[in-house]
Structure 1
Amino acid sequence: MACSSCSTGKDGQPRGCKNNGTCGTDGCNKLTVFDWLSNMSLPNGQKPFDCVEVRFKNSRKEFFRNEENLPLSIGDVVATQAKSGHDVGVVTLTGELVRVQMKRKKTAPDDKTLPKIYRKATQRDIDIWQKCRDREEEIKKRSREIAIALKLEMKLSDVEFQGDGSKATFYYTAEDRVDFRQLIKDMAKAFQIRIEMRQIGYRQEAQRLGGIGSCGRELCCSTWLHDFRSVSTASARYQQLALNPQKLAGQCGKLKCCLNYELDVYLEALKDFPPQDSKLMTKKGLAFCQKADIFKETLWFSYKDEPANWHPLTKQQVLEILELNKKNEKAPTLEEYAEENTVSVEKTAYESVVAEDSLTRFDKPKRNNKRRNKKRRNNKSKAKPNAK
């Protein structure tokens, strides 16, 4: 989706709103919630919910109470209450869905300490807010230089100005605790504003900065993912992925959040699956599991003396052999089980009528040039006597 300012400009070139996810119509915003109750009217006698959700820079969202009963809709720019002064944000959700969001984020809807909305932002408020936004990149660069000069082991990732320009919040990441008292003094002296330092995790940093993942799409955390579940290497082991940190790590340096997306399906499939470290006692000798395909329900076993020869067995066959081993009975050889599987596959094999194995089946047949040249010579020989 895109906002109304992202329409096509001159010569067919895209114009773009150049707001990086903060456009006024809320079409290009990150983590936008679809208001599926917007076209439904309230029952008789019920008042609309007096809280709204307001989004600030990047993905920061907060709830505010609309005590003045202002007619607000999604995309309106409003001036909100702050600890000192006021802030400017964009309304992202109104109505009963705000109550649902507050319950999900464990915020009491009847909390009297919620900040309130002052008014709809005037043009003067928007101009000041835009000027502050334009200064953020310059201030971020200068603040990094100050931090490097002080030899602080921290990374300043983003800067967010308050709507009235009186305060700036610096987001940083660090491995250990950082003493940034001198940094705050130097930055307050250089920028002439109040400074607030806020430490965030590496996942939150990637969420604020955004980017393209290895899948070719935008990062999940910067588009729709709002809660971060812990990801462990066990998720990769259950899905039989190679424990390669370079492939399993995302742009934040942590394990990718998408490792949890299909984990429940794998855990469900592994409930009645034989363990991969199981050993089979057969008449030919001891066999070890070399490979397993969870969804095809196939396991490959090899003898201890012949590790290079793998024999495919189904999940049911392996469970049967394990039951026999529990009774101190040896199962037949793996070759017998593998032959049963190959016979069943041959019976169900599908032979195509149009010869699918032929690579030239769609090529045009070649014409016989000899026959065509012979016809031309015969026509010429018949035409010579008539010419005389």
Structure 2
Amino acid sequence: MGCSSCSTGKDGQPRGCKNNGTCGTDGCNKLTVFDWLSNMSLPNGEKPFDCVEVRFKNSRKEFFRNTENLTLSIGDIVATQASSGHDVGMVTLTGELVKVQMKRKKVDYKDKDLPKIHRKATQNDIDKWQKCRDREEEIKKRAREIAIILKLQMKISDVEFQGDGSKATFYYTAEDRVDFRQLIKDMAKAFGIRIEMRQIGYRQEAQRLGGIGSCGRELCCSTWLTDFRSVSTSAARYQQLSLNPQKLAGQCGKLKCCLNYELDMYLEALKDFPSQDTKLFTEKGLAFCQKTDIFKGMLWFSYKEDPSNWHTLTKEQVQEILEKNKKKEKVASLEEYTVDNFVKEEKVFENVVGQDSLTRFDKPKRPRNRNRKRNKAKSNSGKNNNNNSGNNANPQKKRGRRNNNQKRQQKNG
């Protein structure tokens, strides 16, 4: 989605808003909520909801009460109440849908202690806010250098300034507890601002920084995913994925969130599916399950004495054999069932979409070998004709040479 501040420049190159996803028109925001109630009018006598959702750097969103009854719309930059001073953010949602979002995030909209919106941001507020945003990368680099000097086992991933520039929040990740008291003192002396350290998880770090996943798209956590559910390796086992940590892990180093997307469908399909620990008792011997295919409804079994030879059975056939085994009846062999399953699949290729060949406009290539043979034959015939013509052109000269040679031999003799 584009916006007016993300249009192309004079040379045709993309200009970019340089706001890290916080455009002025809210056109390319990440984690943006679509206000589907914006076109609906309120009933008579009903007052509009007095709370709005304000978004700050990256994915941080908070709810504020509009006590001044300001006419706010999505994309307005406002000055909000903070613990000390004021902060500057952008309105991302207004109206009745804010109440729904507050209920969803378990925020009491009747709470009188909700922070308030002071005013719409003036040009002076916006200029100061932009200057603070421009300093963030430089300060983050300097803070990392101080942490390395102090030999602290932590990684400072992001810095967020308050709107008035009086305070900076440093987000960091660490595996163990870190004593950063000396770090705060050194940074306060170096930067001359109040420092707040906030530890986040590796998934929250990836959400704040963003990036491109192995699927080629932007990370789900930085675009639309708002809650992080626990992901376990059992989700990969149910989906029959190889337990390769390099393929299953995302940019945060944890298991990918997308492993949970199709897990419910797999669990529903596995309800009436025999487990992989199923054993079949036959007169030929005991058979173990080697492989399952949920989509085709097929299972592969092999005898204990011959594990390399697999036999294909359908889900219904396995359930039929299990019912007989419960009645203490044995099947003769698995080969009786595998013969029925062996059906040759005829491959039928149809041009359903109506796509044409990519080489339909190319000129037909002429056979080059025939042309080469013809050229060789012509050149050889030309040489032979020249030689023959040269030999038969002056027979009298040849005779004169022979006579002269004979006379020379007679004189010498």
2:7 match: 7
1:300 maps to a residue whose letter is: W
Q: Deviations over 1:3-37 (max 9, x none)?
A: 21111222322221121112211112110000111
Unaligned runs of 5+ in 2: 352-356, 371-413
Q: Please give the alpha-carbon distance, in whole angstroms, between the structure 2 residues aligned to 1:336 and 1:173.
A: 60
Give the equivalent residue in structure 2 for 1:377.
none
Tell me how far apart the structure 2 counterparts of residues 23 and 252 of structure 1 sit (CA, whole Å): 26
Q: Deviations over 1:102-144 (max 9, x none)?
A: 0000011111010000000000000000000000000000000
5+ long unaligned stretches in structure 1:
355-359, 371-388
**CA positional deviation for 1:304:** 1.3
> In 2, distance between residues paired with 1:222 and 1:192?
32
Alpha-carbon distance in structure 1 between the residues aligned to 2:308 and 2:174: 49
- Are residues 188 and 353 of structure 1, via their aligned partners in 2, closer, same or farther at CA, if it must alter by over 3 Å? closer
Distance in 1 (alpha carbons) for counterparts of 2:348 and 2:86:
74
Cross-structure match for 2:132 = 132
Cross-structure match for 2:103: 103
The residue number in structure 2 matching 1:59 is 59
Q: Tell me the distance in 1 between the aligned counterparts of 2:16 and 2:347.
A: 53
Q: Give 1:350 shift.
A: 6.9
Moved more, 278-287 or 192-201: 278-287
- After superposition, the Cα gap between the structure-2 partners of 1:61 and 1:368, relative to the gap in structure 1 and judged at 3 Å, is closer
Tell me the SS of whatever aligns to 2:59.
coil
The yes-or-no answer on 1:28 pairing with 2:28 is yes
Compute the displacement of 1:367 (Å). Answer: 9.6
Find the residue that maps to 2:183 and give its secondary structure.
helix
Q: Give the letter aligned to residue 140 of structure 2.
A: K
Secondary structure of the residue aligned to 1:10 is coil
Task: Measure, in 1, the Cα distance between the counterparts of 2:149 and 2:55.
Answer: 34
> Which is worse superposed, 51-60 or 28-37?
28-37
Q: Give the SS at the match of 1:11.
A: coil
- Could you tell me how far 1:336 is from its partner in structure 2? 1.3
SS in 1 for 2:26: coil
2:221 is equivalent to residue 224 of structure 1:
no
Q: Deviations over 1:264-284 (max 9, x none)?
A: 000000111111011111121
Offset at residue 365 of structure 1 (A): 10
Helix, strand or coil for the counterpart of 1:305? coil
Q: TM-score, normalised by structure 2?
A: 0.84
Q: Give per-residue Cα distances to partners, 1:192-248, cap 9 Å, x unaligned.
A: 000000000110000000000000000000000000000011111111111111111
Displacement of 1:81: 0.2
Equivalent residue number for residue 269 of structure 1? 269
Other-structure match for 1:303: 303
Counterpart of 1:59, as a letter, is: S
Query: Which protein has the larger Cα radius of gyration, Structure 1 or Structure 2?
Result: 2
SS at match of 1:130: helix
**2:149 is the alignment partner of 1:163:** no
User: Alignment length, in residue pairs?
Assistant: 361
Q: Deviation of residue 368 (structure 1)?
A: 11
User: How far apart, CA to CA, are the structure 1 residues paired with 2:117 and 2:41?
Assistant: 24
Q: Give the CA deviation at 1:305.
A: 1.7
SS of alignment partner, residue 140 of structure 1: helix
- 1:361-380 matches, cutoff 5 A: none
- Residue 147 of structure 1: aligned partner: 147
User: CA shift at 1:353, angstroms?
Assistant: 9.8
Q: CA deviation at 1:332?
A: 2.8
1:146-171 CA distance string (max 9 Å, x none): 00111111110000000000000000
Quote the offset at 1:339 in angstroms. Answer: 0.7
